[in-house]
Amino acid sequence: MGDGGSTIEVIDSAPRQRFEVIVGGNAAGFAQYRRGEGVITFTHTVIYQDFEGRGLGSRLAHDALEAARAEGLTVIPMCPFIAAYMRRHPEFADLIDASFKRS
């Protein structure tokens, strides 16, 4: 990923209602969300300028969607980045909430 061997982790910062990507101990970006009954709505994703171009947005989206799957949540991808990631990765298509598919 071009991170010079830095440790990359994605954490769920529930009090802040977002998944955060951390690189070498530094916040590199986040995917904001709202939770409902059995559903998570992703609303906005940001990768900070100093960390752009390293594939961190994709890592963030992947790990956030895997966390949703592990919790048995469906996903409403209102965030254009998350929606585009899900289109490019059909293995996550089953997570899309039925109400979003109809809209």
DSSP letters along 44-59, please? EEEE-GGGTTSSHHHH
Domains with residue ranges and CATH for the chain = 8-102 (3.40.630.30)
Residues of the chain with confidence (pLDDT) below 50: 1-3
- Model confidence, pTM: 0.91
Q: What is the pLDDT of residues 7-18, one digit of tens each?
A: 999 999 999 999
Q: In this structure, which amino acid lies at residue 84?
A: A
Share of the chain above pLDDT 90, in %: 88
